[in-house]
Structure 1
Amino acid sequence: MGAGIGSWQLRLGSLQHPEPGLWPFAISLLVAFSALILLIRPGDDPVEQWTRKSWSIGAGIGILAAFILLFGAVGFLLPAALTLGVWLRVFGGESWRSTLVLAIAGPAVLYVIFNNLLGVPLPDDVLLRAFS
């Protein structure tokens, strides 16, 4: 519901002249409609039991929330490396070697692609300022 309200505030436009909120609004309607259908008719399959491992979903959401907060405060590279590192090591069970290589190389490659090649403006990065 929050996504629908936020996308409505961005303005929808029309299919011929879409505004930034059009597609997020359409997707939020689809998700809300799907949830409503599942509430009305949940299906015949047994519901998955909540276990201690089920809390990893909440941890993943918390890590993404921290990434979003840090992204605006310190830039892209450090939050992306930390997020990717935690996800690879804790949730993916990767070795320390793989985790460190991918957590450093992944955000660096994405930064070059988005900032340099595609020209997508990213927030001023603390790590880049420290090394320049």
Structure 2
Amino acid sequence: MSAIKLEAPQGTEADPAATPGRHAGRYRLVPLVLLATGIAAVIGSWRLTLGELNSPGPGLWPFVVSVAATIAAGILAIVPDTEAYEKWTRRTTMLAGGVLSLVVFILLFEAIGFVVPSVLLLLLWLRAFGEESWRLALVLAVGGTAVFYVGFAVLLGVPFPDDIVVGTITRLIGM
């Protein structure tokens, strides 16, 4: 007895990727959104000032990364790799939530400083995406924020916006 293998003919509803002309527009949507986001990031980082190579400004590395992302998105918009696309699932929604949380982090970072947004971001990512316990997530969020703040602001001297937590602590201890 031989097994019968049922395959849908290419180009049918069962295999929409087989007809690139029919669904080509949807494969260009994400790269075009990424291209627009990359261009906005290039402009935003340029406005932060790039500085010099021996004295980099706050926008230099965001500029380098956003230029690379913009080039990659441009290439994908022109020549989309339709075979690499995945279906929209719960994990995709989590990815969108992660990106949205980074946007909120950036807005809060500019408004109130580094500490509170970092603790909230790490707590969200550890709890929601990493599925860690509240106890471990809280310890890692607070500890990770402290390590990053000391490493970048104190040891490396990276200028951060005025921080409500650090400002309050330094006023309380009289610094």
The TM-score, its normalising length taken from structure 2, stands at 0.60
Which structure ranks higher in relative contact order (CA pairs < 8 Å, sequence separation ≥ 6)? 1
Query: Highest CA radius of gyration, 1 or 2?
Result: 2
Alignment match, 1:61 = 99
Alignment match, 2:152 = 114
Alignment match, 2:78 = 40
Q: Which amino acid aligns with 2:113?
A: G
Structure 1 residues 4 and 117: CA distance shift in structure 2, 3 A = closer
Using the alignment, how far apart are the partners of 1:117 and 1:111 within structure 2?
9
Structure 1 residues 50 and 72: CA distance shift in structure 2, 3 A = same
Matched, 1:100 2:171: no
Alignment match, 1:82 = 120
Using the alignment, how far apart are the partners of 1:124 and 1:76 within structure 2?
8
Consecutive unaligned residues in structure 1, runs of 5 or more: none
Using the alignment, how far apart are the partners of 2:60 and 2:105 within structure 1?
25
Consecutive unaligned residues in structure 2, runs of 5 or more: 1-38
Aligned partner of residue 32 in structure 1, secondary structure: helix
- Following superposition, the deviation at residue 111 of structure 1 comes to 1.2
Q: Deviations over 1:32-82 (max 9, x none)?
A: 332233233323625200023311122112211221121122221111001
Using the alignment, how far apart are the partners of 2:88 and 2:152 within structure 1?
39
Percent of counterpart pairs with the same letter?
48
Aligned residues: 131
The TM-score, its normalising length taken from structure 1, stands at 0.75
Using the alignment, how far apart are the partners of 2:119 and 2:95 within structure 1?
20
C-alpha RMSD over aligned residues:
3.0
Alignment match, 2:34 = none
Using the alignment, how far apart are the partners of 1:112 and 1:102 within structure 2?
15
Aligned partner of residue 83 in structure 2, secondary structure: coil
